[in-house]
Amino acid sequence: MTYEFILAEKPGHGVGLIRLNRPKALNALSPDLMAELGAALKAFDADPEVGCILLTGNERAFAAGADIKAMAHAGAVEMLKNDLISVWETIHHITKPVIAAVSGFCLGGGCELAMSCDLIVASESAQFGQPEINLGIIPGFGGTQRLTHAIGKGLAMEMVLADRRLSAEEAQAYGLVNHIFPVETYLDEATKLAAKIAGQAPLAVRLAKEAVNKAFELSLREGLQHERRLFQMLFATADQKEGMAAFVAKRPAHWTGQ
Ligand code: CAA
């Protein structure tokens, strides 16, 4: 499928690569772009050749936020009726891991989109922020919630109230970012990480992602119970038999996703 505001490709090794592609607008997340992103995410989630999804922008901008020009004249009733933000929720229903490869501006909805991914690989130039307060609004796609879970209340407050930006180094120190690489190599490194994940047993990967995400929603007791059920369920898979047989036979495992 061809898109206008994103590029989707399969560079091999089980990776599904999506590039946000509105460079002149610093990849501002317009409703049309978000609709295409939702469609591409769903297509890769359903594609048996894809084991891990990589979401990126370009060197200058991952995304500078929701498209301000597209919503500048909107009223509350229009925002409510059209519910432009609900398509953004698609990423939360994707069962395969999604890695954000972030360089340059990662602001507002861009930061929220990156935080909706499962891991973040950053370039040295990445800059994270929630500058909505400068526009007379607040984050609308989870910024106040995900940021607070990720980096704690004090710093989240400063970012949301005073447009405090985080450098890549700071974001890594606060646990938001997994790895930092030079601008020239961050995408290759993120692709390697995606390929590594895509090379694991697909059902175990899927349930591992589900289990970790439940830690944000359930009490510790409920989360532990949920994890145990998923763990037990994996003993019904051919990949569990294969993985353990391969270990015992000292040979590589061959996953079938069954
Ligand atoms: N929406 C629409 N267009 C945007 C945009 C956005 N979020 N961010 C940048 N652009 C456009 C600019 O209007 C400009 O377009 P023109 O050439 O047609 O004028 C182009 O991208 C390049 O931007 P700048 O000239 O401003 O580039 P700069 O290097 O001087 O500044 C920047 C870069 C600091 C990122 C600045 O563009 C900026 O502050 N952007 C807005 C960031 C922001 O406030 N994001 C939050 C949006 S609201 C939101 O996301 C709500 C939510 O939670 C869902």
Report CA(65)–ligand 1 centroid distance (Å). Answer: 7
Active site residue 66: yes
Identify the pLDDT of residue 86.
81
Active-site residue 9, yes or no? no
pLDDT at residue 80, as a whole number: 85
How many CB atoms lie under 10 A from the CB of residue 188? Answer: 11
**Among candidates 35, 37, 44, which has minimal Cα distance to 20?**
37
Model pLDDT, residue 78: 86
Give residue 168's identity as a one-letter amino acid code.
A
Catalytic-labelled residue, pool 112, 142, 198, 208: 112
Blockwise average pLDDT, block size 10, the chain, 258 residues: 94 98 98 96 98 98 96 89 83 97 98 98 98 97 95 97 98 97 98 98 98 95 98 98 98 97
Which atom of ligand 1 is the closest one to the Cα of 105? 35
The Å distance, Cα 129 to ligand 1 centre, comes to: 12
Q: Is 109 a catalytic residue?
A: yes
Residue 1 confidence (pLDDT): 74
